[in-house]
A and B are shown apart, each in its own frame.
Chain A
């Protein structure tokens, strides 16, 4: 399902979180919202989900104005940074939750629920954890269960808020590649928020770079690295001060291919 946001503004008190943001997310793509802390990327994601209301502007889901649609009718899957698993339920019950709360006439039979949950557990390769509680899982396992739970209701879009932010570096890397493979299988329109340049460039089809509540650049990972549109993007993507040229270059990859910054990363463009 395609997503479009038009002229979105949002302020928290005097702080302007989003300043007239318009974006289109084509169907079936995996898009990264990339930017430093406080740039408004999470707020935008929550507005698309309906968890936050924009001060002005419109969200279109599949061309339809979603302003009047309640969160629970938007059919979005949302994955939280801190997983937000139901701590008093087993992994099985967590994943089954979305099916169990459906209105009676749309609720699947118990056997179907069981089947579906195990299918999803197999998809995230954690079938053996069905009877555990969230507290007994590692961070990476919890996040995969959270993803399975979000997928259980067959959402039309998948929104991930810093999905790997709370994990250690090694698990992050494994999980983001796993997410990419999963997306290649499911082709569900997905947006994920991150402040990690490597993460965004490595797995996203398209990267949206944001700063101070505005969009700085939209493009493929290659375009963003090779033709940064603004000094901010050049600065942010080039990992200024993060090491010598060769190391920075080696870290900017998209699906295994090394991306080559045009400008010397040690001396990024400045306005």
Chain B
């Protein structure tokens, strides 16, 4: 069920900052007979779209919760407070708590460098940031196994020093950082590029230091975009399955994250428990969506037509 969060995250990651919906204009389109399509066209399209939406998005979500509660609330809660489930929750939260702040710092610095400065190798850096999006998470996991695993390049060195990375928590955190790296940077680059360097230059001429300019001008201007990126990054960090699955080793109570725990329960035909834990992830997805909608709304409010005009 990690898929729910994953698809939400990667779907929305790319078309951010682009869309300021102009719903009022669309409504005018429908109101006027001069621009209205024939009823049969409208209803056919609507039926197809809504049918698709119900079948592929709404039904799975509904199924998760009905399956989870099939054997009643007692079984549901028992599955959630079971020690292995609790330890999976802790590990998931830990991985996100490390990966998200790190990617916040990396993402902001990368976006800042790319959007505000010209340097050689900029295109290469942009491509590199996109790498985690384009490479399969399983491959990402395998890379870490290859580099840090017992038979890997640095495996013997880590072995000698008694440091475990693969099949341990550090590996899970590393894999999570890798797959969630682009979210914040990708979110900020178009936003910062659209805003240009004018305001920073104005701040510098007025006597602000680089640090003051960053904290007082650059950061406040992208705060909603940044929050949006953090939310998506967090959703992905908690829901990541592929990369984490490769490096985790699936040791119950030790290296199991929530998505991995769901898989184990499911493979053991413990459907009620599997869906109960899965419902947690589904709930996370719903909360993410709600937060995302709120932030999008705020972002649109700050990027009102007048202020965008000023930005050009």
Give A residues with C-beta under 8 Å from B.
Answer: 49, 51, 71-73, 76-78, 80, 82-88, 97-98, 101-102, 133-136, 142, 149-150, 152-153
Contact = CB atoms under 8 A, between A and B. Distances in A.
A152 B201 CA distance: 16
A76 B207 contact: no
Contact of B201 (A51, A77, A87, A142): A51
Contact of A97 (B203, B310, B312): B203
Interface residues of B, number: 23
| Chain A to chain B: the 4 pairs with minimum beta-carbon distance, closest first | A135-B307, A84-B198, A98-B206, A135-B306
A93 B236 CA distance: 38
B199 interface: yes
B215 to A, nearest CB: 10
B207 A98 contact: yes
Contacts of A102: 207
A142 B205 contact: no
Given A97-B216, A101-B209, A101-B216, A83 B204 contact: no
B126 to A, nearest CB: 21
B206 A82 contact: no
A154 to B, nearest CB: 11
B202 A80 contact: yes
Contacts of B221: 86-88
Contacts of B199: 84-87
B244 to A, nearest CB: 38
B10 to A, nearest CB: 30
B310 A153 contact: no
A85 B209 CA distance: 17
B302 to A, nearest CB: 8
Given A82-B312, A86-B203, A150-B206, 17 more contacts: A72-B208, A73-B207, A78-B202, A80-B198, A80-B202, A84-B201, A85-B310, A87-B199, A87-B307, A97-B216, A98-B206, A98-B208, A135-B304, A135-B306, A135-B310, A149-B202, A153-B206
A135 B212 CA distance: 23
B208 A101 contact: yes
A78 B204 CA distance: 10
Contacts of B203: 86, 97, 101
B8 interface: no
Interface string B280-312: 000000000000000000000010101100111
B208 A83 contact: no
Nearest to A149: B206
Contacts of A83: 310
A136 B217 CA distance: 19
A51 B198 CA distance: 11
Contacts of A150: 205-206
B207 A84 contact: no
A149 B217 CA distance: 15
Interface string B179-216: 00000000000000000001101111111110010001
B220 interface: yes
A150 B205 CA distance: 9
Scoring B206, B302, B306 by chain A CB atoms within 10 A of each residue's CB, the highest score goes to: B206
A78 B199 CA distance: 11
Nearest to B217: A86
Contacts of B220: 88
A185 to B, nearest CB: 22
28 contacts: A49-B205, A51-B201, A72-B209, A80-B198, A80-B201, A80-B202, A83-B310, A86-B202, A86-B203, A86-B217, A87-B307, A87-B310, A88-B221, A97-B206, A97-B208, A97-B216, A98-B207, A98-B208, A101-B203, A101-B208, A101-B212, A102-B207, A134-B307, A135-B306, A135-B310, A149-B202, A149-B206, A152-B206
